[in-house]
Structure 1
């Protein structure tokens, strides 16, 4: 393999990993009963036409939906009714953060914030919320080390699944990049033979 080809492979691998890892994702942990803010900001003060907070594991998926100046509670998941609001209802300075009141273990999940401003759509901000029982509560910081019936740690299963998913996606991205580089090298070699 020539120095130019090796350099190209290294560059493609680095760029691919940088793009994959730089996704806007945050992890937040809260105790049951707390009020939690899930952060999301628009890049500037353009007119915000749509703000959609959702969780893909729920049906309906909407946690909060704001469209063309109005909140739309009709398609909101029932577990979030009267428990969610925007940090700033006027969305000054592009703040579209979600306030979730009186969180429970059932609120654990991956939330997406999507907004549209004057015809442009953002890549979703992703926030993973983990809700745990407070110390001294069932499943919390107890003598059994926070284990529930069945020997599983509270929230441990979902966190393990998240880690496995992230690692799997990372490995998949690397494999796709390697396959692309090998295909490119094969194409170049075939081209130079002809």
Structure 2
């Protein structure tokens, strides 16, 4: 029973930070999704591409404005915030007119007032083969949903096991045994 409880607990631990996988066709616009941990004002937002990090940003925002001068030349004029107001911590960017050269791992780093920092990785693949739509990857939600469903199944199995044990004990108690004879009443 302890191992089942431990397994149930482990299912609800945060999943390791694996990059989202996103595949699109050339010439599409693609949203690279990212959110701040909370809904405070954004102090700093950096979108990098791992292999181009030292050559400039994909997108850079500080002091309540974006700075194109810090962008890698390949991304100037092609990247914008999906929501310029960054409501509800949405710091996603739209990359316009993607090409094969945009394939890579993108790193979102956002810091809000108070110093809370969050990060997100996205592996973007631009290919002519049959890709998924050019929208945000939804598979992390699927992973969480499956984890919750598995957790519920485990809880149901555990509760069923306990119920079956209780029924078994009651049916096999001495008072339900036909050969059982109650002790004589000594008060008479």
TM-score interval w.r.t. the shorter chain? 0.5 to 0.7
Equivalence for 2:91: 96
Q: Is residue 46 of structure 2 the alignment partner of residue 52 of structure 1?
A: yes
Question: What SS does the aligned partner of 2:107 have?
Answer: strand
Q: Is residue 125 of structure 2 the alignment partner of residue 130 of structure 1?
A: yes
Q: Is residue 19 of structure 2 the alignment partner of residue 25 of structure 1?
A: yes
Equivalence for 2:174: none
8 Å contact from structure 2 (residues 43, 113) kept in 1 = yes
Per-residue CA deviation, residues 48-99 of structure 1 (Å, 9 max, x unaligned), is 1111100121142410000010111112100001100010011011110010
Equivalence for 2:32: 38
8 Å contact from structure 2 (residues 29, 94) kept in 1 = yes
Q: CA deviation at 1:26?
A: 0.6
Whole-angstrom CA distance in 1 between matches of 2:126 and 2:93: 16
Q: CA deviation at 1:24?
A: 5.0
Whole-angstrom CA distance in 2 between matches of 1:121 and 1:109: 26
Q: CA deviation at 1:112?
A: 0.6
* TM-score, length basis structure 1: 0.57
Q: CA deviation at 1:123?
A: 3.7
Q: CA deviation at 1:44?
A: 2.3
What's the C-alpha RMSD, in Å, of the aligned pairs? Answer: 2.4
Gaps of 5+ in 2: 132-188
